């Protein structure tokens, strides 16, 4: 397992040279084979992200949440009973569970590898879509900035395993099939079935992707109904396959949820909770905040500026495609599709008002296609070909310098060039925090653990499944619209799992929950009484309170005598009810 220090010069120099080589190959089209070009691009992307991939610690708190959920599903595979992904759907967690069952550990390296694989799938499918619509060269010129951005960035929200990736991959796959359909005079029925299947799965990855799925499905339907070469029967047959496959996917998964007895939890804690999530500000106010939002990720902002510059050149030159067509497809269909997808993507990103950077993955796909469309339009005019080549060369050079310059400056000033230092880690062996070490003194991997607060990394480090569905308790304190529902479920989960160790992680190292007096587990009064009655306080470890179940200390065996009633049995056999 490779490792990286704070300034891995011997790594960065050859990798940066490979970046320039890829830029040269892209601009001059020296690689005739598209698959050879893609292989080189994704190999470079892997090398660029390698420092963060082998970093076996939390890059973003969300990935700890999903790894802990995946670990828990290994023991109890029913989503919304053993785990609740809050804003994320079950597909994100089940993917990590399946990868773990194949032999990879439930740790951060595995999550980072899966994130890289999903990013590769998204870029590959979007590139193929761009190739079908706009040609090989514009697709390459559009792909290059995204490879550099997603490789050279050290922004945690663009590197970690997040809940947007599967949904965006599904949308990319459906978009690719839509591009294939536009190229066919009589498209196959199975393509519509697969599109419906993919779009039906999107909301089970992330509800925020639902507007994009509906929009894409709508454009597939519009294309069908506006085709003159298809009979009415052929149109309705394909439209029926699209609708039925999408509805069958959704209804089938909901049926499976109901069969497992968690339908009410699905409705309450996924649909109701997430439609009420966030501040839901007006679109006007959110659009005003968009520049500051994008400034949080200057790498993406550079691509947006590049796309704007390309299309500004198109408008200035007033370049139009011959006969208003791209290949064999009408321009209006593709143009309106991209405009709508960008607009709906921005709505999905901005709706909650939370402004997390990883939400921006929802606009990557249409943005890449829009950039390729711009290049295709300019390249269709031979008079602007030299100008285009020069502007692309300048833009690529500027993009690379923007990434290289901070590296050089940091190196000269002695500042860390690499934020993900793994030279003092143990490779696949995950380093343990003081809290994890304290927990493992009294419990074992595979036993249930409950952590109050937001420190899901303790589950991952100890290899202990979560004893509560919501492995971060933020909603049991702050989510006022459904505070009672979350508190009731949390207490019921603790009573059911009765973990050997209970950790109150509220403190200086916690995410969002730092005030022990007002946000500690005593905030739920019955929970506070339960912990006080059946656990012994062992002290503060790294500003987290550690509580150990009494039988682990005093040799008593605790049992549940009836729902909501706990009893303790002493070694002599005497039983006494402790709490109701």
Q: What is the pLDDT along the chain (580 residues), one digit of tens a residue?
A: 888 988 888 888 888 888 888 877 777 777 778 888 999 999 999 999 999 999 999 999 999 999 999 999 999 999 999 999 999 999 999 999 999 999 999 999 999 999 999 999 999 999 999 999 999 989 999 999 999 899 988 899 999 999 999 999 999 999 999 999 988 888 999 999 999 999 999 999 999 999 999 999 999 999 999 888 889 999 999 999 999 999 999 999 999 999 999 999 999 999 999 888 766 667 777 778 888 888 888 889 889 988 998 888 888 776 666 556 676 566 888 989 999 999 999 999 988 878 899 999 999 999 999 999 998 888 776 666 666 666 666 666 666 666 666 666 666 666 778 889 888 887 888 889 999 999 999 999 999 999 999 999 999 999 999 999 999 999 999 888 899 999 999 999 999 999 999 999 999 887 788 999 999 999 999 999 999 999 999 999 999 999 999 998 865 544 443 334 444 443 333 333 333 3
pTM: 0.91
- Kindly report the number of other CB atoms within 10 A of residue 308's CB atom: 13
- Kindly report the number of other CB atoms within 10 A of residue 355's CB atom: 17
Chain-centroid distance, C-alpha 5:
27
Task: Say what the pLDDT of residue 562 is.
Answer: 39
- Kindly report the number of other CB atoms within 10 A of residue 445's CB atom: 12
Considering Cα of 207, then 208, then 210, then 213, what sign does the dihedral take? Answer: negative
How does DSSP classify residue 521?
A: G
Token code pair at residue 135 = 């040609």
3-class DSSP string for 347-377: HHHHCCCCCCHHHHHHHHHHHHHHHHHHHHH
Query: What is d(CA 356, CA 150) in angstroms, rounded to the nearest whole number?
Result: 17
Residue 326 main-chain phi, psi, to 5 deg? -115, 105
Nearest to 283 by CA among 342, 341, 346, 337: 346
Task: Say what the pLDDT of residue 21 is.
Answer: 83
What's the CA angle centered on 234, arms 228 and 239, to 5 degrees? 100
Task: Say what the pLDDT of residue 403 is.
Answer: 61
| Alpha helices in 76-135, H assignment, sequence order | 90-101, 108-134
Indicate the pairing of strand 325-326 with strand 565-569. unpaired
What's the CA angle centered on 147, arms 141 and 151, to 5 degrees? 155
């Amino acid at each position: 397992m490779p490792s990286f220090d704070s300034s891995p010069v011997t790594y960065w120099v050859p990798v940066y040279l490979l970046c320039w080589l890829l830029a040269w190959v892209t601009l001059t089209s020296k690689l005739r084979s598209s698959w050879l070009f893609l292989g080189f691009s994704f190999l470079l992307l892997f090398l660029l992200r390698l420092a963060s991939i082998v970093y076996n610690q939390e890059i973003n708190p969300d990935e700890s949440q999903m790894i802990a959920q995946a670990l828990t599903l290994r023991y109890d595979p029913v989503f919304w009973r053993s785990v609740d992904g809050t804003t994320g759907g079950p597909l994100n967690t089940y993917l990590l569970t399946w990868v773990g069952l194949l032999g990879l550990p439930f740790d951060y390296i595995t999550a980072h590898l899966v994130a890289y694989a999903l990013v590769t799938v998204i870029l590959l499918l979007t590139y193929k879509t761009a190739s079908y619509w706009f040609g090989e060269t514009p697709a390459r010129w559009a792909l290059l900035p995204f490879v550099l951005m997603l490789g050279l960035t050290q922004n945690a929200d663009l590197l970690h395993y997040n809940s947007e990736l599967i949904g965006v991959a599904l949308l990319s796959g459906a978009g690719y099939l839509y591009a294939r359909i536009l190229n066919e005079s009589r498209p196959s029925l199975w393509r519509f079935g697969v599109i419906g299947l993919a779009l039906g799965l999107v909301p089970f990855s992330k509800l925020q992707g639902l507007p994009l799925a509906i929009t894409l499905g709508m454009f597939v339907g519009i294309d069908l109904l506006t085709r003159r070469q298809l009979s009415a029967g052929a149109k309705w047959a394909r439209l029926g396959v699209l609708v039925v496959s999408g509805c069958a996917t959704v209804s089938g998964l909901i049926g499976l949820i109901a069969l497992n007895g968690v339908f009410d939890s699905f409705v309450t804690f996924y649909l109701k909770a997430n439609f009420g999530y966030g501040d839901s500000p007006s679109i006007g106010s959110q659009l005003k905040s968009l520049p500051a939002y994008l400034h949080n990720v200057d790498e993406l902002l550079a691509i947006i500026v590049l796309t704007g510059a390309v299309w500004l050149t198109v408008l200035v030159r007033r370049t139009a495609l011959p006969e208003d067509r791209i290949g064999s497809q009408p321009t209006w269909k593709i143009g309106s599709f991209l405009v709508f997808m960008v607009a709906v993507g921005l709505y999905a990103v901005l709706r909650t008002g939370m402004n997390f950077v990883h939400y921006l993955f929802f606009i990557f796909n249409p943005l890449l296609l829009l950039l390729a469309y711009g290049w295709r339009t300019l390249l269709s005019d031979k008079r602007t070909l030299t100008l285009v080549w020069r502007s692309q060369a300048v833009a690529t050079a500027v993009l690379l310098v923007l990434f290289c310059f901070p590296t050089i400056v940091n190196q000269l000033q002695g500042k860390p060039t690499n934020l993900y230092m793994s030279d003092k880690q143990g490779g696949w062996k995950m380093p343990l925090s003081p809290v994890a070490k304290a927990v493992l003194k009294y419990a074992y991997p595979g036993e249930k653990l409950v952590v109050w607060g937001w420190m899901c990394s303790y589950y991952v480090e100890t290899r202990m499944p979560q004893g509560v569905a919501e492995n971060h308790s933020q909603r049991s304190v702050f989510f006022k619209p459904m505070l009672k529902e979350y508190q009731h479920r949390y207490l019921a989960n603790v009573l059911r799992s009765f973990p050997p160790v209970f950790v109150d992680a509220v403190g200086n190292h916690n995410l969002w929950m730092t005030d022990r007096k007002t946000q500690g587990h005593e905030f739920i009064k019955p929970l506070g009484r339960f912990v006080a009655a059946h656990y012994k306080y062992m002290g503060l470890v790294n500003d987290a309170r550690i509580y150990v179940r009494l039988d682990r200390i005093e040799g008593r065996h605790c049992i549940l005598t009836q729902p909501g009633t706990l009893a303790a049995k002493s070694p002599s056999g005497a039983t006494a009810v402790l709490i109701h």
